[in-house]
Structure 1
Amino acid sequence: MPTIDPNLILEDDHVLLRPLQQSDVENLLYISETQPDTWHYSLVRAAGRANLEHYIGLALAARAQGTEFPFVVIDKTSGKYAGSTRFYDINFAFKTLQLGYTWYAEEFRGTKLNKRCKFLLLQYAFETLGMERVEFRADAQNARSIAAMKSIGCTVDGILRSNMPTAEGGRRDSIVLSILKEEWFNGAKANLQKKL
């Protein structure tokens, strides 16, 4: 059964993803303190130092359990820490995982940074880990995230109605999207590569 190298680094000429560390609180604090809307659709908010410390602590605990693998994202062109993303709900027996918990500083949203990250992550998931399915989820109201997922080649699977709470205390519908291994090799990879 495959495993994820604890020191895994994914990179191209423009972006580097390395394992998230507790010390990354300092690297990501500028986003946390000045761009609190970043986590508007997230159940776990990371605005402010204490919340960011808690957010990273939860991610590292999940990595220690083998269910998640969080990354910090660095824009190599500017040298800036751009945000974070991760593999989660990793199930090697079923050959599935989810890709998400993705957030970036405002200056990197709408750029090619996300597509570059997703290309590296999907390539690793399908071509190194041998996954059969990579799933994505978002709040069904989060139009920006849904558009980003569709732009990298995801297919909409459906809506999970009232499937999780919101930070405000209500419930949200979640949209589920995915890319299958055969889709990756039969066009999704090439199509995404053209957009880089």
Structure 2
Amino acid sequence: MPTSQFPQDVILEDEMVLLRALQATDVNNLLDISLHEPETWEYSLVRANGKENLENYIQIALKNKEDQTEFPFIVLDKKSGKYAGSTRFYDINMGFKTLQLGYTWYGKDFRGTGLNKHCKYLLLQFAFETLGMERVEFRADNNNQRSIAAMKSIGCKVEGVMRSHMPTLGSDVRRDSIILSILKYEWFDEVKENLKSRL
């Protein structure tokens, strides 16, 4: 299916979380995290700390959605009724049946609660079972141990590290990027059931 056929009104949900398309008005829903939890963007290449940066972050995401290379979501924690953060599909290539899953961040109240596993289950299920993807890729700063541990815990396999891959924000230091992935057969053979059993 060509990129232009990527669904534009995706809603993914279970009993714990709801993911819907990010909108410009979501600045208000994410502002509290943006203003009070600057550590959230320690490893991010596009910061969303402070209202201006958050507005810029959302505008970039929406422009890329319009260009059909990304699909950004806002994440609602159904138990508290509060917005928890954001995540997205990016580098979407419908022809190759590949995409990346990332730009994931949550406020501190939602970390370690199981919310991330619920989100990843819904997103991976959608990628492999609705979109028919063959590969979902994940990347992180090789120093971001929390993020790497989270990816491994859902069943991602480490493929390697791209050395001096890109600059880090606001410094002369370049980051090494770790590459992880889940393949379609891995999702159906083991990852899906393992992840489901831990929800």
TM-score (norm 1): 0.99
2:92 — aligned with what?
A: 90
Offset at residue 7 of structure 1 (A)? 1.1
Q: Show the 5 A alignment for 1:8-47.
A: 8-47=10-49
Which residues of structure 2 form unaligned runs of 5+? none
Offset at residue 103 of structure 1 (A)? 0.1
Report the Cα distance in structure 2 between the residues aligned to 1:124 and 1:21, rounded to whole angstroms. 20
Offset at residue 111 of structure 1 (A)? 1.5
**Number of paired residues?**
196
Deviation string 1:133-156 (CA, Å, 9 cap, x unpaired) is: 000000000000000000000000
Answer with 167-176 or 25-34: which moved more. 167-176
2:143 — aligned with what?
A: 141
- AA aligned opposite 1:56: I
Report the Cα distance in structure 1 between the residues aligned to 2:64 and 2:27, rounded to whole angstroms. 17
Offset at residue 4 of structure 1 (A)? 2.5
Deviation string 1:31-50 (CA, Å, 9 cap, x unpaired) is: 00000110000011110000
2:179 — aligned with what?
A: 176
Which residues of structure 1 form unaligned runs of 5+? none
Of the candidates 75, 90, 98, which is equivalent to residue 77 of structure 2?
75
Offset at residue 5 of structure 1 (A)? 1.7
Deviation string 1:54-92 (CA, Å, 9 cap, x unpaired) is: 000000000000000000000001100000000000001
Report the Cα distance in structure 1 between the residues aligned to 2:6 and 2:15, rounded to whole angstroms. 22
Report the Cα distance in structure 2 between the residues aligned to 1:159 and 1:85, rounded to whole angstroms. 22
Report the Cα distance in structure 1 between the residues aligned to 2:30 and 2:110, rounded to whole angstroms. 13
CA RMSD of aligned residues (A): 0.7
Q: Show the 5 A alignment for 1:140-159.
A: 140-159=142-161
Moved >2 Å (runs of 4+): none
1:54 — aligned with what?
A: 56
Of the candidates 179, 192, 196, which is equivalent to residue 193 of structure 1?
196
